[in-house]
Structure 1
Amino acid sequence: MFRRRKKFEPFTFIGVDDDRDLEVYRPERAARKHFRHEVGLLLRDILFAAAFAVLVIVFLVQPVKVEGSSMLPRLHDGERIFVNKLVYYGLPELARGDIVVFWFPDEPSKSYIKRVIGLPGETIEVRDGRILINNRELVEPYLDPQRNVARVNEPAHRIKNHYYFVMGDNRDRSSDSRDWGLVPEKYIYGKALFRFWPFNVAGIIRHETEYKELPSALPNNDVPVMDDSGSSDEQ
């Protein structure tokens, strides 16, 4: 008549030490830990970026401010450019038409920016304002005729090995190799690469090196060798 009650076992037995391995989640502590981790990553990235920037500036590129009007119309006073410093190590080899930055031979504490016109071993002459390399006229489309009205003449000279003849594009307002002589190769520390200021004219700087192909220099003992002071050594 009476049914026997079933015996129910307890679900489980809870001991007094069962919760000792449980970690109580505290949002504030987790947030601080996450913040410290993110700050550490940020500092690491900043250090890596700074080290990379130092390596780039020391070995690859350098910002330079253009001062004066000797490179008009290509470069203007006050513009900022980056120069490729690898040319100091011969990478790449300098070519005619390259715009370069160098220490002024007469006062190495100063820097000048000019265009490479004559290469080592070549014979260069200025005739009525025109440049002749190895007795062949150099085509210079980068010049502004309004800024080059003076018809100056310079006698033919041979350029010494490891030296360069440089000129400004604004020929009437440029102090260059016509005045103070050749630039030693070791004094050239940068090639104009990129204009970054003002922003509205930012961009890669062209060098017109497509006009570099001219006849090779021929030995001519009748042509004096120009030295780095602008004078000639009769040989």
Structure 2
Amino acid sequence: MFNRRKDKPKKPAWREYLEAILWAVVLALLIRTWGVQAFKIPSGSMIPTLLIGDHLLVSKSSYGFKNPFTDKVLIPMGEPQRGDVVVFRFPEDKDKDFIKRIMGLPGEIVQVKGKTVYINGKPVKDPWGHFTDRTINPTRDDFGPVKVPQNKYFVMGDNRDQSYDSRFWFNRRGGFVPKEDILGKAFIIYWSWEGHTFGVRLGRVGDLIN
């Protein structure tokens, strides 16, 4: 009995290596574009939620799958909500990435009076705000009211007395973060390093970001 199936010619080694490299590049691009990305916290603007030296993962598909070339959402997966901690392109320099918490949603009127955040004229539930200075600084602690435009968001750092956020960008760049500039939602701390003591904060590793 004869096997009439012809043996397929074997691929040359260089082609197998090239295909493996190409598939690895494609997979890396898919993960970076629609999967998760790692970020490191360089400042204290999100204390106590996030500390300097925290390393975190950001889900880039939390709000939908984007076209990597135009930032247009191809498959919606939900809208950013108040309280979400997001990484986004800094409005004053799009080459830099910032991390803050969303406080004002599209169409809402945001105001800060004496450190208290008001949404549409009512004080908002704000368990995230952290204050180290009891004095009232009019530039920092009294703001607005302003209406958040459609498809944009008002963001603040949890360390309210030491955060460069929408309150301070307002006069120059409108103070709002466009939806297309949101890179993703932070969801977990995977590593934490205390620079002054060169120690690992094992107790923070694995903490979910809320």
Greater alpha carbon shift after TM alignment, 132-141 vs 118-127? 132-141
1:154 aligns with 2:143: yes
Q: In structure 2, give the amino acid aligned to 1:194.
A: I
Q: After TM superposition, list the pairs within 5 Å mapping 1:93-172 onto structure 2.
A: 93-146=79-132, 150=136, 152-172=141-161
TM-score w.r.t. length of structure 2: 0.70
Structure 1 or 2: larger strand share? 2
Q: Secondary structure at the match of 2:61?
A: helix
Report % sequence identity.
37
Structure-2 change in CA distance of 1:171 and 1:145 (3 Å)? closer
Aligned counterpart in structure 2 of residue 206 of structure 1, from 185, 188, 209: 209
* Number of residues of Structure 1 aligned to a counterpart in Structure 2: 164
Give the distance between the partners of 1:77 and 1:205, measured in 2 at CA. 16
Structure-2 change in CA distance of 1:133 and 1:179 (3 Å)? same
Aligned counterpart in structure 1 of residue 168 of structure 2, from 160, 179, 191: 179
Higher-Rg member (1/2): 1
- Say whether the 8 Å CA contact 2:89–2:182 is kept in structure 1: yes
Deviations 1:170-194 (A, max 9, x none): 1111000001111111111111011
Query: Offset of 1:88 from its aligned partner?
Result: 5.4
- Say whether the 8 Å CA contact 1:88–1:186 is kept in structure 2: no
Cα RMSD (Å) of the superposition? 2.5
Q: Secondary structure at the match of 2:132?
A: helix
Structure 1 or 2: larger helix share? 1
Structure-2 change in CA distance of 1:149 and 1:67 (3 Å)? farther
1:189 aligns with 2:164: no
| Residue of structure 2 in register with 1:63 after alignment | 38
Structure 1's unaligned 5+ residue stretches are 1-44, 208-235
Structure 2's unaligned 5+ residue stretches are 1-19, 65-75, 170-174, 193-200
